[in-house]
């Protein structure tokens, strides 16, 4: 006999996989934030030598301009925009009451009240493919770029305000 599960459990598992995927995207993005800071958590910066714009500067005078790297680079903030999942499955029997794989009553708190007894549809996701070749699943995930979080935007704005000329060189210095 084919292994069947409740359709509710299958949908919850798929939704959980989508939430986990978004979490992994966010963790990946956060792991690269440390690349922009040194071991003492100071922002890494680049020093650029530019012709001096100071009114008293000579023709060959140069300014050293320091700019933190984080606000200079594009931050790729991605989030899952849309998920489309299609699958073929054999429909099993309609079962009255709680299913053996329904654990909604075992976790009090955030999960809310236990669902009342209602019929559950059983499916076999390993079967039902075209021409009897077994189940098939098609997953399409669309991601989109999004604006940086408020905290990240504020950090980058603050770092941008710290950039500027910190020393002027005269020829021969």
Residue 6 contacts residue 115 (beta carbons within 8 Å): no
pLDDT for 75 beyond 70: yes
- Asked whether 101 and 6 are in contact (CB, 8 A), the reply is yes
Q: pTM for this one?
A: 0.62
pLDDT confidence of residue 1: 46
Helix ranges (DSSP H) in the chain? 7-31, 150-162
Q: pLDDT by residue (tens digit) across 27-55?
A: 988 888 889 999 999 999 999 999 998 88
How high is the pLDDT of residue 48? 94
Question: Is 35 part of a structural domain of the chain?
Answer: yes
Higher pLDDT, 145 or 173: 145
By CB atoms closer than 10 A (0-12, 13-18, 19+), residue 125 is buried
Question: In sequence order, what E strands does 119-163 have?
Answer: 120-124, 137-145
Q: What is the pLDDT of residues 81-135, one digit of tens each?
A: 999 988 887 887 778 766 555 555 555 567 665 655 677 778 877 766 566 555 5
In-domain check, residue 67: yes
In a domain, 106, yes or no: no
Domain span at residue 35 reads 5-99+117-169
* 8 Å CB contact between 94 and 121: yes
- C-alpha distance across the termini of the chain, in Å: 86
Number of domains in the chain: 1
Within-domain flag for 110: no
Comparing CA positions, the residue from 90, 80, 78 lying closest to residue 147 is 78
Residues 125 and 5: their CA atoms lie apart, in Å, by 8
In a domain, 37, yes or no: yes
């Amino acid at each position: 006999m084919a292994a069947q599960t409740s359709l509710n459990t299958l949908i919850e598992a798929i939704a959980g996989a989508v939430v986990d995927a978004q979490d992994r995207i966010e963790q990946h993005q956060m792991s690269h934030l440390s690349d922009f800071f040194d071991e003492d958590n100071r922002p890494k910066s680049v020093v650029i030598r530019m012709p001096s714009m100071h009114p008293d500067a000579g023709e060959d005078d140069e300014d050293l301009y320091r700019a933190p790297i984080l606000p200079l680079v594009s931050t790729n903030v991605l989030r899952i925009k849309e998920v489309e999942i299609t699958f073929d499955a054999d429909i099993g029997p309609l079962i009255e009451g709680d299913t053996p794989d329904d654990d909604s009553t075992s976790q009090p708190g955030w999960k809310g009240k236990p669902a009342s007894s209602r019929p559950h549809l059983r499916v076999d996701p390993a079967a039902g493919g075209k021409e009897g070749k077994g189940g098939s699943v098609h997953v399409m995930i669309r991601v989109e770029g999004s604006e940086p979080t408020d905290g990240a935007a504020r950090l980058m704005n603050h770092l941008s305000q710290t950039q500027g000329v910190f020393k002027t060189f005269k020829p021969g210095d």
